[in-house]
């Protein structure tokens, strides 16, 4: 199946999903960035030397997904470098981390431009340039008219809980004088979090990213999840890799048949609910029978001893004890089975309620399962409320 990081990277690397995420972020869902216009970039970046062992060695960092986009918008050519960071868990240093990635990307652009100028100068003059030239352009390798390509990093949070981590660099500071905050750059992260997405925002997503975010958002509310899945036709034809990712992230157990490339999640969810109902009924009946028989045996023995003593006084100790035990066991078993059935039915009702089924749905299932009349079913439903 694979772990969360591998599955989410594979999911977001899909050009349609990647383009959809940035169309949502930049263009409010307008389909401006075309998947075919995206070019995969090397995700490896070399950071400044501040590794954990203080050796002074440069630290290699890897983005999750990194692509270049060159396209047209409003008759103007647009150049962007787009990065995605997937998070299964909340990262409480995300602003600083993303700021580092973006800074490294800009530094890499400057170095490439400087190296290009140096190569051009070598071709023209036969040397690498004038070593005595102390101008800003010579020292930096970056000329006055040179321009950088904007870098945008987007965090996709795949967790089921609310993101409670910092959104901006200032959120990571201690209480600080407002005059200082005005001067300290406040790098903000771009974040898509399922928990925070509204229904309107979800509809602005046009790829399977919408279904993935909706599934995660409502994964803790089975009734709402079933409603959302039934209303969205895309859930009838989900690819197995996406379903595997959602299983891993949410702890769901949607069945994926061997060799099956597409999964009907509507059918799969209904099967999960039906299996849960049947399992609940069986478990409730078993527990009820066990408790009822045990209780019935105790009461039966107690009543049998009492009756046996009374009859023994009248008919004789020996005959009374024999008859008392015999009648006590018989009545105890009968009472135990009766109590067992009652406990089983009440247990089944409580389990069905935990599955968020309506009163009528529980009523029908209990009536059919145990062959009860309407009146008797209502009595048990009322007893379960007490």
Overall average pLDDT of the 262-268 stretch: 77
Quote the CA–CA distance of 258 and 255 in Å, as a whole number.
Answer: 9
Q: Percentage helix, strand, coil, to 5, in the chain? A: 60, 10, 30
Q: Whole-prediction pTM value? A: 0.67
- The answer to which of 107-121, 170-184, 260-274, 359-373 has the lowest mean pLDDT is 260-274
Cβ pair 309, 320 in contact under 8 A = yes
pLDDT band at 312 (very low <50, low <70, confident <90, very high): low
**In this model, does residue 94 exceed pLDDT 70?**
yes
Give the three-class secondary structure for 45: strand
pLDDT on residue 162: 95
One DSSP character per residue, 11-31 reads HHHSHHHHHHHHHHHHHTT--
pLDDT on residue 65: 96
| R_g (Cα) of the chain, nearest Å | 34
Q: Which is higher by pLDDT, 148 or 281?
A: 148
Quote the CA–CA distance of 33 and 81 in Å, as a whole number.
Answer: 12
pLDDT band at 49 (very low <50, low <70, confident <90, very high): very low
Q: What is the pLDDT of residues 182-207, one digit of tens each?
A: 999 999 999 999 999 999 999 999 99
- Axis-axis angle for helices 359-370, 265-315 (nearest 10): 50
Q: What is the pLDDT of residues 126-175, one digit of tens each?
A: 555 555 555 667 677 899 999 999 999 999 999 999 999 999 999 999 99
Q: What is the pLDDT of residues 7-37, one digit of tens each?
A: 999 999 999 999 999 999 999 999 999 999 9
pLDDT on residue 275: 56
Q: What is the pLDDT of residues 344-360, one digit of tens each?
A: 888 888 888 877 788 88
Task: Provide the edge-to-edge strand list for the sheet that holds 190-192.
Answer: 38-40, 65-73, 76-87, 151-157, 190-192
pLDDT band at 217 (very low <50, low <70, confident <90, very high): very high
DSSP state of 226: H
Quote the CA–CA distance of 298 and 305 in Å, as a whole number.
Answer: 11
């Amino acid at each position: 199946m694979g772990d969360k990081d591998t599955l989410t990277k594979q999911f977001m690397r899909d050009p349609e999903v990647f383009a959809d995420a940035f169309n949502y972020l930049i263009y409010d869902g307008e389909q401006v960035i075309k998947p075919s216009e995206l070019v995969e970039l090397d995700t490896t970046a070399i950071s400044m030397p501040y590794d954990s062992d203080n050796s002074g060695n440069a630290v290699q960092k890897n983005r999750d997904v990194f692509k270049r986009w060159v396209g047209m918008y409003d008759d103007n050519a647009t150049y962007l470098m787009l990065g995605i960071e997937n998070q299964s868990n909340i990262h409480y240093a995300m602003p600083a981390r993303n700021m580092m990635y973006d800074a490294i990307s800009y530094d890499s652009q400057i170095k490439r431009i400087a190296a290009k100028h140096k190569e051009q100068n070598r071709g023209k003059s036969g040397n690498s340039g004038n070593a005595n030239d102390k101008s800003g352009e010579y020292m930096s390798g970056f000329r006055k008219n040179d321009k950088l390509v904007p870098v945008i990093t987007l965090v996709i949070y795949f967790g089921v809980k609310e993101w409670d981590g910092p959104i901006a660099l200032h959120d990571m500071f201690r209480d600080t004088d407002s005059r200082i905050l005005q001067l300290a750059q406040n790098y903000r992260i771009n974040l898509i979090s399922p928990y925070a997405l509204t229904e309107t925002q979800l509809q602005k997503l046009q790829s399977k990213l919408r279904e993935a975010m909706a599934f995660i958002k409502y994964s803790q509310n089975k009734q709402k999840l079933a409603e959302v899945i039934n209303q969205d036709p895309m859930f009838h034809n989900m690819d197995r890799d996406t379903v595997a990712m959602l299983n891993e992230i949410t702890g769901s157990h949607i069945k994926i048949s061997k060799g099956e490339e597409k999964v009907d999640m509507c059918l799969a969810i209904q099967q999960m609910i039906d299996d849960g109902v049947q399992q609940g009924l069986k478990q409730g009946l078993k527990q009820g029978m066990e408790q009822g028989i045990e209780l019935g045996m105790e009461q039966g023995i107690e009543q049998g001893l009492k009756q046996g003593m009374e009859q023994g006084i009248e008919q004789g100790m020996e005959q009374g004890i024999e008859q008392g035990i015999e009648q006590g066991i018989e009545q105890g078993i009968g009472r135990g089975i009766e109590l067992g059935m009652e406990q089983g039915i009440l247990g089944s009702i409580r389990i069905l309620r935990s599955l968020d089924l309506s009163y009528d749905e529980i009523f029908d299932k209990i009536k059919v399962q145990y062959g009860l009349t309407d009146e008797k079913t209502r009595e048990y439903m009322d007893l379960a409320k007490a």
